[in-house]
Amino acid sequence: MRVAAPLALFAAFLAGCGDVSLPAPSTTGGAATSTPTATGQPLPLPPAKMVPGEPWIAFEGVTKAGIGIRLIRPDGADEHDLAPDVPLRDQGWHVHPDWSHDGNRLAFGADTDPTGRDVWIANADGSGVERVFDCTAPCGEADDPAWSPDGKAIAFASYDLKGKAGTNGRLRVVDLATRSVVTLVSETRAGDFIRSPRWSPDGASLVFEVQHNATADPIGTLTSSTITIVNVHTKALRALPTPATATYPDWGPKGDLILFSTSPWTASTTRAANLATINADGTGLHLLTHLTNKQTRATQPRWLPDGSGIIFTAVDGPGYGQPSIATVKADGTGMASPIVTGNTFGTHSRMRPTR
């Protein structure tokens, strides 16, 4: 591995939660940095100004504290931490960013409590940091936040923890004005955990993944997964006929297509992972990319806000390998880095809505 210490750190984190090559990640954290000088040291830059309507990419990357939410412009400038002042427990991280639909705020998970993970929000410039759901015992984790289309609520996944066993995997929604929480789905089987909820554009439904683990360990061996839709008003459930290893669903901005990756990203994964879509009614399963074993794996996909393409994590090498931010067109062609200065080390990338 070219960057042994950061990659080892990143692999440890992941154990808890043409090919594209990986550049050395930034490990400066905090202040924004520019292209390294001849000495290899990045030049310091003043704090970035977040102008409404400007394109930015939010992603998980390496910071001084470990793993955090980073922001970078598509031209490669002004890379910086979103919210370095959010308190973290020892060896904690900020994870899974999601933009509000107006592009003005971000939601994310943060390891702030001694044992749990909470849901936080912040303005795009890092101000206005606020915890919106406190995962207190028996809650073991609240994560994967997703802004509702009207910006009034956030859906998230949670589970309870008893010792090392996770139970009661739930899909929940918190009202941002009242902080009242509604549970839409509750899994009763030990080893079933809800991940990656995403809203339909009309706010009437959520698509999410149910991970079926071999044991009740939240980071245990994954045996299969199910992509499911729930009606927010009736709580009616409908499983989609996706492959048994389908993961990371996302609802398209036009409301007709569900995007997903065909294979999970784990420490032992060597098989191909591709991007695919299925109609929201369960018809029209379609493979977008055709990557084979030993090629770049495509995982953690999210639609670009206008639906013209997909931003995702491209992984080179077996297991956790070397992850970088990549994009393809909506038809799966034209794999490239969305950052003009080259590939950027990172995962769970999200393009800022600019409308």
* Residue 268 confidence (pLDDT): 66
Q: What is the mean pLDDT of each run of 10 residues along the chain (355 residues)?
A: 34 40 31 33 50 92 84 92 83 92 96 85 94 93 97 97 87 98 94 96 98 91 94 98 96 97 81 95 97 90 97 90 94 93 86 90
CA distances from 82 to 68, 119, 121, 148, 355 (A): 8, 15, 10, 21, 21
The two structure tokens encoding residue 283: 């018809």
* Residue 48 confidence (pLDDT): 65
* pTM of the predicted protein model: 0.86
CA distances from 189 to 168, 183, 204 (A): 8, 16, 26
* Residue 43 confidence (pLDDT): 35
- Report residue 22 CA to chain centroid gap: 19
Cα(186)–Cα(176) distance, rounded to whole angstroms? 21
Cite the DSSP H helix spans in the chain. 4-16
* Residue 284 confidence (pLDDT): 98
Domains of the chain from N-terminus onward: 4-18+138-351 (2.120.10.30)
* Residue 90 confidence (pLDDT): 74
| 351 three-class SS | strand
CA distances from 283 to 82, 144, 286, 300 (A): 39, 27, 9, 22
DSSP class of 245: T
Place of tokens 């999200």: 350
The closest of 313, 303, 349, 309 to 329, measured between CA atoms, is 309
* Residue 340 confidence (pLDDT): 81
- Phi and psi at residue 82, to the nearest 5°: -75, -55
* Residue 50 confidence (pLDDT): 82
CA distances from 111 to 87, 131, 135, 234 (A): 8, 11, 10, 33
* Residue 317 confidence (pLDDT): 85
SS3 content of the chain, % helix, strand, coil (to 5): 5, 45, 50
